[in-house]
Amino acid sequence: MKRSIVGSSGAWRRIARLVLCLAWLCTGAVAQAAQQFTDWGWPLPREQVSQKSIEWLKDKGWWPLAIAYQAPWSGQNAVNVVMDKQGFFRDRGLETRVQAFASGPEINEVLVSGRFQVGSGGNFPFSSLLDKKVPVKAIAIESPNLLHALVVPHDSRIKSFKDLKGSNPPAAIGLVTGSSAEFYVQMAAMVNGVQIGKDVILKNMTPGDQMAMPDGLAGVVSWDPTVAMITQQRKNGRVADSIFPYNMYEGQFYVRDELVQNVPDVVQALTDAFVEATLWIRLYPEKTADLMAAVPQLKSYSKPILLDQVKSYNNMYKPNYVYPNARFWGQVNSVVFRWLHEHGRIVRPLTADDFAAAVDARFMDRTFDKLGWAVPKEPPFVPAGWKGDPAKIPYPAYLEVQSLKAPQAFPEKGDLVRPWTYDRKTWTP
């Protein structure tokens, strides 16, 4: 009889554990069901900025918040346009003024003056801000590995960057001086033994003027979508060389540090809007191209070109490419810093640590936590077993727009820490 009671007691304990387990599972299922997502994968409701922060911005004369971006810069332009036109700032309680500029140096000017508080900048212009000790913090990565290319006339003898060596007279190359295009040329020249000033002469030229491929130039060096306009739409030039062995290009979405120190909820709203726009673009590339076609500075670009650029620079990599990995990008930019200092282009000998100090990943960490995404250890374009060193060029092959034939799958194993719903389908870790 005693054994029967003990056996019965053990059975009840097992039943009790089963009931508790079922209750826990049901609670988790209810919690998961309670979490709502937009069709493009953003969790609802959206957090709102505080009235206190709004008043602080108004007292500074920074209301509406002024945001600068570059119209002729693929990937980055789409995110900024969508954040603005889809109301992702307004949805979080922010009033903003979003303005397009032609190049990074122009954005630097308005950021230094304080007339704009949020900006987008490539690696070369961002280095200039750090050198001048402009108080900025990078909160997201934009357009990693954007194609920069040496574009030459169809009948040119130049087939690669090495062919510029020994040019007599010197080959005149049009580009935006002080931009990432110039840095690409400088690095390619160093690796290939081409002498700037002897073999090649650099001429400052806007992206709009470059598209005409003016007579008297051996070629132009620009970034997409200008490269696509020349080679695909106007068809008045061809690509002879590209940036990828010489620089892992990246842009930064950044804010003045005063915002981080005084209104961190505003910076969080900007970060959330950035990632939400990234997801919206992923689901609606055609609608994104329509929004971009309405931007005055992009009206000369055909809808097929704009759509192709969106697919290439917004939707080819996993969306977690936006994570500002300070260690990795600091090493990449140490190459930029070293050259700039050695050639007197910046005053201070900046290092990878200086770049890392200008990154604040806390906001993206929180955004990823809201989504249930894991923080990536490396950017998604670094293949497994890659033998390169981000601080040493030339780089061995990695994943970029010329080598990727289809968008990377997302999410895959290791990309999530909690269930995430996108396009009405739920993925689990």
Looking at residue 6, what is its pLDDT?
Answer: 39
Q: CA separation (Å) from 288 to 148, 268, 295, 302, 423?
A: 23, 23, 11, 13, 16
Co-location of 258 and 363 in the same domain = yes
Looking at residue 83, what is its pLDDT?
Answer: 98
Q: What is the rounded average pLDDT for all residues in the chain? A: 92
* pLDDT tens-digit series, residues 193-233: 999 999 999 999 999 999 999 999 999 999 999 999 999 99
Looking at residue 180, what is its pLDDT?
Answer: 87
Amino acid, single-letter form, for residue 383: P
* Predicted confidence (pLDDT) at residue 27 exceeds the cutoff of 60: no
CATH number at residue 177: 3.40.190.10
* pLDDT tens-digit series, residues 71-91: 999 999 999 999 999 999 999
**Closest to 137 in 3D by CA, of 7, 268, 226:** 268
CA angle, 115 then 121 then 125, to 5°? 95
Q: What percent of the chain has pLDDT over 70?
A: 92
Q: What percent of the chain has pLDDT over 90?
A: 87
Q: What average pLDDT does the segment 312-323 reach?
A: 98
Q: CA separation (Å) from 131 to 102, 105, 359?
A: 22, 14, 15
Are the CB atoms for 211 and 248 separated by under 8 Å?
no
Question: Beta strand pairing status for 251-256 and 420-422?
Answer: unpaired
Co-location of 261 and 392 in the same domain = yes
Co-location of 159 and 268 in the same domain = no
13: in domain? yes
pLDDT tier for residue 124 given thresholds of 50, 70 and 90? confident
Co-location of 64 and 196 in the same domain = no
* Predicted confidence (pLDDT) at residue 356 exceeds the cutoff of 80: yes
Co-location of 374 and 268 in the same domain = yes
Co-location of 296 and 402 in the same domain = yes
Co-location of 253 and 330 in the same domain = yes
* Predicted confidence (pLDDT) at residue 243 exceeds the cutoff of 70: yes
pLDDT tier for residue 20 given thresholds of 50, 70 and 90? very low
Amino acid, single-letter form, for residue 26: C
* Predicted confidence (pLDDT) at residue 24 exceeds the cutoff of 70: no
pLDDT tier for residue 178 given thresholds of 50, 70 and 90? confident
* Predicted confidence (pLDDT) at residue 32 exceeds the cutoff of 60: no
Last residue of a domain, one of 242, 265, 295: 242
* Predicted confidence (pLDDT) at residue 297 exceeds the cutoff of 50: yes
Q: Where are the alpha helices (DSSP H) in 314-357?
A: 326-342, 352-357
* Predicted confidence (pLDDT) at residue 313 exceeds the cutoff of 80: yes
Tally of domains in the chain: 3
pLDDT tier for residue 7 given thresholds of 50, 70 and 90? very low
Looking at residue 142, what is its pLDDT?
Answer: 98
Q: Which residues of 212-236 are buried (b: 16+ CB within 10 A; e: fewer)?
A: ebeeebbbbbbbbbbbbbbbeeeee
166: in domain? yes
Q: What average pLDDT does the segment 377-381 reach?
A: 97
pLDDT tier for residue 251 given thresholds of 50, 70 and 90? very high
Sign of the Cα torsion 353, 355, 356, 358 reads: positive
Are the CB atoms for 247 and 116 separated by under 8 Å?
no
In the numeric block, the tokens 């020349």 are attached to 230
**Contact residues for 133 (Cβ-Cβ < 8 A; gap 6+):** none
Looking at residue 10, what is its pLDDT?
Answer: 53
Q: What average pLDDT does the segment 111-122 reach?
A: 95
Co-location of 135 and 105 in the same domain = yes
Amino acid, single-letter form, for residue 230: I
Looking at residue 14, what is its pLDDT?
Answer: 54
**Closest to 137 in 3D by CA, of 269, 321, 272, 260:** 260
Co-location of 371 and 261 in the same domain = yes
* HEC-encoded secondary structure of 126-184: HHHHHHCCCCEEEEEEECCCCCEEEEECCCCCCCCHHHHCCCCCCEEEEECCCCHHHHH
Looking at residue 11, what is its pLDDT?
Answer: 53
**Strand (E) or helix (H) holding 192:** helix 180-192
Co-location of 184 and 315 in the same domain = no
189: in domain? yes
Print the domain residue range for 349: 43-145+249-410
